[in-house]
């Protein structure tokens, strides 16, 4: 099976590349700028059609949540028109598309884990673009899996875990918001789930799914866990001070509650992400070995 993933440097792309290596019968390739530029429809269609994969994973996106508030046109071009072009290209070659989306499509005022059919109501520009992107993907290719995940971290790229470890090198105390709740998700676990879905995808299974790390937390407790693991392995750590969202300066207003219920993906595809604390341990240890030259 030939899987084509959009983007080259992203956390999910790099995790997929790593996890697909050991899978017999799976050939995974990644394609990004300049050959495939989501803001240039022709480049998207041409590069996907000529690669002729069996499945397309649409993982590239505009992900800068605060910056999107200042440049909504760019974010919409990439996350709506770009995502739609990826799905359309897949449809042209008869391939299904697995499209990544986010917990930020929800308003976040419901503390219960969101199920797939729950009403969306994004409060940020990023969330609005991803929400409209979902609709565009569904319209462009009936054979779609829209996979919403959340709070993604990994040994690759920019993410909260790496940011916390970097900040702790120069600071003893770090204020972190404690009133936003969600499910941290390791991109490595997510990659395993995506590969399992890609291999078992059949008629009757298309639609929207949630796939996020097991267990929930808030950003402050997430940071505390990162530092507890790091400290055990001789890495940087800091005291975490709880702050309220209202006290933390940010352009985009994140949802207070964006827990996702991943039961449907577990029932239909048998995917079961690990607990966020277990996976955080794996990722922190890799980051310490890679970036901080200790632990490992």
Contact 56, 4 (CB under 8 A): yes
Q: Which of ligand TDO, ligand NDP, none sits in contact with 11, Cβ below 5 to 8 A by type?
A: ligand NDP
Residue 278 is inside which H or E element, if any? helix 276-291
Query: How buried is residue 42: exposed, middle or buried, by Cβ count under 10 Å (0-12/13-18/19+)?
Result: exposed
Is residue 147 helix, strand or coil? Answer: strand
- For the bound state, the minimum distance from the C-beta of residue 73 to ligand TDO, rounded and expressed in Å, comes to 18
Tokens 């790091």 -> residue: 230
Residue 273: both structure tokens together: 């992400």
Token duo for residue 226:
């990162």
Instruction: Give the residue, chosen from 157, 221, 268, 286, that forms a contact with ligand NDP under the rule CB under 6 A.
Output: 157
Q: Which residues are catalytic?
A: 126
Q: Are 20 and 3 in contact (CB under 8 A)?
A: yes
Q: Which does 32 bind (CB under 5 to 8 A by kind): ligand TDO, ligand NDP, none?
A: ligand NDP
Q: What are phi and psi of 237, to 5 degrees?
A: -150, 160
Q: Using the minimum distance from each CB to ligand NDP, give the nearer residue, 84 or 149.
A: 149
CA distance 161 to 236: 12
Which residue's CB is nearer to ligand NDP, number 157 or number 215?
A: 157
Under the criterion CB under 6 A, does residue 8 sit at the interface with ligand NDP?
yes
Dihedral of CA atoms 294, 12, 170, 241 in degrees, nearest 10, equals -110
Computed on alpha carbons and rounded to an integer, the radius of gyration of the chain in Å comes to 19
Verify binding: residue 63, ligand NDP, rule CB under 6 A.
yes
Q: Taking CB within 5 to 8 Å according to partner kind, which of ligand NDP, ligand TDO, none is near residue 10?
A: ligand NDP
Shortest reach from residue 242's CB to ligand NDP, in Å? 21
Contact footprint for ligand TDO (CB under 6 A): 63, 65, 102-104, 150-152, 160, 163, 174-177, 180, 219, 248, 250, 254
Pick 127 or 295: Cβ nearer ligand NDP: 127
Q: Which stretch binds ligand NDP (CB under 6 A): 20-28, 54-62, 162-170, 195-203?
A: 54-62
Among 150, 217, 230, 279, binds ligand NDP (CB under 6 A): 150
| Of the candidates 124, 121, 117, 119, the residue with the CA atom closest to the CA atom of residue 146 | 117
Residue 21, number of CB atoms within 10 A of its CB? 9
**Half-sphere exposure (CA, 13 Å, Cβ side) for 186?**
24
Does 11 sit near ligand NDP (CB under 6 A)? yes
Considering the complex, state which of residue 48 and residue 65 has its C-beta at the smaller distance from ligand TDO. Answer: 65
Q: Does 163 bind ligand NDP (CB under 6 A)?
A: no
Look at residue 33 and give the partner it binds from ligand NDP, ligand TDO, none, a contact being a CB closer than 5 to 8 Å depending on partner kind: ligand NDP
114 binds ligand NDP (CB under 6 A): no
Q: Identify the residue among 76, 106, 114, 151 touching ligand NDP (CB under 6 A).
A: 151
Choose the one of ligand NDP, ligand TDO, none that binds residue 7, judging by a C-beta under 5 to 8 angstroms depending on kind: ligand NDP
Structure token pair of residue 28: 């995974």
Tokens 């059609």 correspond to what residue?
49
Residues interacting with ligand NDP, by CB under 6 A? 7-13, 32-33, 36-39, 59-63, 78, 100, 102, 130, 149-152, 157
């Amino acid at each position: 099976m030939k899987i084509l993933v959009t983007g080259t440097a992203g956390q999910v792309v790099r995790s997929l590349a790593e996890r697909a290596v050991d899978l017999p019968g799976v050939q995974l390739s990644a394609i990004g700028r300049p050959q495939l530029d989501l803001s240039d429809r022709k480049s998207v269609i041409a590069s996907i059609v000529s690669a002729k994969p069996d499945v397309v994973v649409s993982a590239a996106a505009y992900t800068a949540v605060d910056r999107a508030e200042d440049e909504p046109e760019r974010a919409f071009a990439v996350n709506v028109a770009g995502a739609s072009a990826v799905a359309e290209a897949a449809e042209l070659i008869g391939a299904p598309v697995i499209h990544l989306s986010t917990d930020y499509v929800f308003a976040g005022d419901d503390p219960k884990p969101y199920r797939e059919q729950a009403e969306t109501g994004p409060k940020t520009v990023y969330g609005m673009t991803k929400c409209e992107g979902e609709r565009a993907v569904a319209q462009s290719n009936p054979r779609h899996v829209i996979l919403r995940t959340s709070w993604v971290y990994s040994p690759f790229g920019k993410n909260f875990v790496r940011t916390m470890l970097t900040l702790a090198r120069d600071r003893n105390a770090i204020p972190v918001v404690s009133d936003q709740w969600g499910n941290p998700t390791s991109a490595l676990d997510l990659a395993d789930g995506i590969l399992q879905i890609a291999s078992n995808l059949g008629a009757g299974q298309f639609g929207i799914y949630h796939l996020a790390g097991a267990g929930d937390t808030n950003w402050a407790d997430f940071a505390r866990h990162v530092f507890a693991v790091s400290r055990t392995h001789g890495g940087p750590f800091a005291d975490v001070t709880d702050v309220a969202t209202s006290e933390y300066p940010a352009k985009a207003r994140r949802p207070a509650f964006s827990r996702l219920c991943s039961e449907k993906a577990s029932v239909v595809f048998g995917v079961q992400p690990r607990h966020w604390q277990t996976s955080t341990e794996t990722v922190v240890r890799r980051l310490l070995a890679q970036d901080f030259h200790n632990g490992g």
